[in-house]
A and B are shown apart, each in its own frame.
Chain A
């Protein structure tokens, strides 16, 4: 097994707790994916702009016009808990 991807670190960033079996499984699967993408490195792509999208579309805008928002009761109806008109959360400690 190579170390081209640090599954433990990625899992930590994603707030995922993995069992040792899952860790091994994902390590193998993700290695495959990384190696698959590595194939591009075999080609000379210098001078080719990277594409982030499947289509060459640019400049999709909306005008700055107010549209109706959602009904507050329906929105808060999805909250596990509410505090008046706020979404209620466990007490949060400020994070940097």
Chain B
């Protein structure tokens, strides 16, 4: 709708990749039986004392560094008080006043070009327990309670559901590159609450914002935003007022609904957590982490295009997943430099087809970078031909090994020797007198048929280029 501006901000909760919970040694293994990974700390027993997981702090700071945040030298924790049975101690340990990371941004591509979405801050907190709702009662499983979550709060810099998607995709890619989270949406590793408002063009002040919760997928977030924006625009164009509230996305009905809310529900009475001492980060420690950061995906795309002579499109596809980019680079480095584009072609067509057919990731497959490099090199040096290479790849993907070993063991080497091939050419020409006559009568396509027959006779091992040249010579020469 024209005449209105849309403003969206996201609060994204990311489960950190730690083995244990935020404040106790209970395991975070996914899919455990209900209430098996629990202890007095994460069950919220009075008197149980939390002790901070060092790794959770490191992963949050690494995330902040990847996003260009300012890292707080001193950071403290607070109690956020509320009554709900997903947190039996009646408060969540979070960071209110001094989060670990401040500022930063995520670069996104939009229809109108590149754009920086500012990050307000990243803080560290604990997740709540899982409540299952039944017809006549509810049940609580505390396995998830105390999981380290970092909350990445964006500024309201997003102007459409498409931009929100671009932001989430870019954020997820950066977090995967950083190795700080598995970002597995099915396991709830990445959840976003969304704030959205509309205002007439020309109005400085932001419109009344509505918060939407309960989206488990990126698709859900997109659908919820589309619905909510349409609802708000319909309201304001009718002359109605938007109420500041929290709404819940109902994926079945495809609509947002107001959540029941007490008047004082948002008065959390934050106060400093007396059971946790401040975190102070040494400059040298932060700089050591900074020095060990992986490249940002956008930087890597540019570098790969340049270093391996591949198009930007290839670089973007390959860099989409860090492990694909790592694999490609290892394979390309093992080949002659001019073969970068060939390696890219093989990865993007044949290897990616095998990945999607098998549902595996490249590290789950048996294919190694050196095997792909060798395959491309054998092809380039014409030891094997294209059809043989295509035949070998699925086997290397399934069972591993090196193509040179398979070629040697099965005698798959391409025959390029003209003398050896001349006999086959002679045989085919004498057995296919009609095609030879057709060719000489002007049917040029007959030559292709004859080359095919020679290939067949060689069981696919003949070098098609040499065969093509020999057949052409013989057809042009005397009968």
Q: B62 interface residue, CB < 8 Å from A?
A: no
Which residues of chain B from 271 to 295 have any CB-CB distance to chain A below 8 Å in the complex? 272, 274, 276-280
Which residues of chain A from 26 to 75 have any CB-CB distance to chain B below 8 Å in the complex? 52-53, 55, 57-70, 72, 75
* Chain B hits for A1, CB < 8 A: none
Question: Contact check: which of A76, A90, A94 meets B259 at CB < 8 Å?
Answer: A94
Residue among B37, B136, B137 with max Cβ neighbours from chain A (10 Å): B137
Which residues of chain A from 71 to 95 have any CB-CB distance to chain B below 8 Å in the complex? 72, 75-76, 83-95
A95 adjacent to B34 (CB under 8 Å): no
Binds A, one of B22-30, B113-121, B405-413, B467-475: B22-30
Q: B36 interface residue, CB < 8 Å from A?
A: yes
Q: B139 interface residue, CB < 8 Å from A?
A: yes
* Chain A hits for B107, CB < 8 A: none
Q: In the complex, what distance in Å separates the CA atom of A61 from the CA atom of B56? A: 10
A76 adjacent to B138 (CB under 8 Å): no
Question: With A66-B27, A90-B138, A91-B136 in contact, do A60 and B277 touch (Cβ < 8 Å)?
Answer: yes
B54 adjacent to A86 (CB under 8 Å): no
Chain B 91-111: CB-based contact to A (< 8 A → 1; otherwise 0)? 000000000000000000000
A62 adjacent to B35 (CB under 8 Å): no
Q: In the complex, what distance in Å separates the CA atom of A71 from the CA atom of B196? A: 45
A96 adjacent to B25 (CB under 8 Å): no
Q: In the complex, what distance in Å separates the CA atom of A64 from the CA atom of B141? A: 22
Chain B 229-270: CB-based contact to A (< 8 A → 1; otherwise 0)? 000000000000000011010000000000111101101010
| Nearest CB of A to B284, in Å | 14
Chain B 15-59: CB-based contact to A (< 8 A → 1; otherwise 0)? 000111000111100000111111110010000000111111100
Which residues of chain B from 217 to 237 have any CB-CB distance to chain A below 8 Å in the complex? none
Q: In the complex, what distance in Å separates the CA atom of A86 from the CA atom of B142? A: 9
A91 adjacent to B27 (CB under 8 Å): no
Q: B134 interface residue, CB < 8 Å from A?
A: yes
Q: B63 interface residue, CB < 8 Å from A?
A: no
* Chain B hits for A84, CB < 8 A: 34, 139
Q: In the complex, what distance in Å separates the CA atom of A33 from the CA atom of B26? A: 40
| Nearest CB of A to B356, in Å | 34
A67 adjacent to B139 (CB under 8 Å): no
* Chain B hits for A95, CB < 8 A: 84, 259-262, 265
A83 adjacent to B134 (CB under 8 Å): yes
B51 adjacent to A96 (CB under 8 Å): no
| Nearest CB of A to B99, in Å | 16
Q: In the complex, what distance in Å separates the CA atom of A9 from the CA atom of B248? A: 27
A87 adjacent to B140 (CB under 8 Å): yes
Q: B83 interface residue, CB < 8 Å from A?
A: yes
| Nearest CB of B to A16, in Å | 12
| Nearest CB of B to A84, in Å | 7
Q: Is the interface of A mostly helix, strand, loop or mixed?
A: loop
Which residues of chain B from 414 to 458 have any CB-CB distance to chain A below 8 Å in the complex? none
B277 adjacent to A53 (CB under 8 Å): yes
Q: Is the interface of B mostly helix, strand, loop or mixed?
A: loop
* Chain A hits for B43, CB < 8 A: 70, 75
Question: With A57-B277, A58-B277, A95-B259 in contact, do A70 and B38 touch (Cβ < 8 Å)?
Answer: yes
| Chain A interfacial residues counted at CB < 8 A | 38
Q: In the complex, what distance in Å separates the CA atom of A89 from the CA atom of B141? A: 11
* Chain B hits for A76, CB < 8 A: 35
* Chain B hits for A22, CB < 8 A: none
| Nearest CB of A to B83, in Å | 6
The chain B residue sitting closest to A82, CB to CB, is B139
Q: B185 interface residue, CB < 8 Å from A?
A: no
Q: In the complex, what distance in Å separates the CA atom of A94 from the CA atom of B249? A: 12
B52 adjacent to A86 (CB under 8 Å): no
Q: B479 interface residue, CB < 8 Å from A?
A: no
* Chain A hits for B277, CB < 8 A: 53, 55, 57-60
* Chain A hits for B85, CB < 8 A: 89, 92
Question: With A58-B280, A67-B25, A95-B260 in contact, do A87 and B18 touch (Cβ < 8 Å)?
Answer: no
Q: A12 interface residue, CB < 8 Å from B?
A: yes
B52 adjacent to A69 (CB under 8 Å): no
Q: In the complex, what distance in Å separates the CA atom of A84 from the CA atom of B272? A: 37
Residue among A69, A91, A95 with max Cβ neighbours from chain B (10 Å): A69
Q: In the complex, what distance in Å separates the CA atom of A91 from the CA atom of B81? A: 22
| Nearest CB of A to B335, in Å | 39
Q: B76 interface residue, CB < 8 Å from A?
A: yes
Question: Contact check: which of A9, A64, A75, A92 meets B54 at CB < 8 Å?
Answer: A64
| Nearest CB of B to A91, in Å | 5
* Chain A hits for B276, CB < 8 A: 60
Q: B399 interface residue, CB < 8 Å from A?
A: no
Question: With A64-B54, A94-B248 in contact, do A58 and B34 touch (Cβ < 8 Å)?
Answer: no
| 7 closest Cβ pairs, A-B complex | A67-B25, A86-B139, A96-B259, A64-B55, A61-B54, A96-B246, A96-B261
Question: Which residues of B does A touch, CB under 8 Å?
Answer: 18-20, 24-27, 33-40, 43, 51-57, 74, 76, 81, 83-85, 131-134, 136-142, 213, 245-246, 248, 259-262, 264-265, 267, 269, 272, 274, 276-280
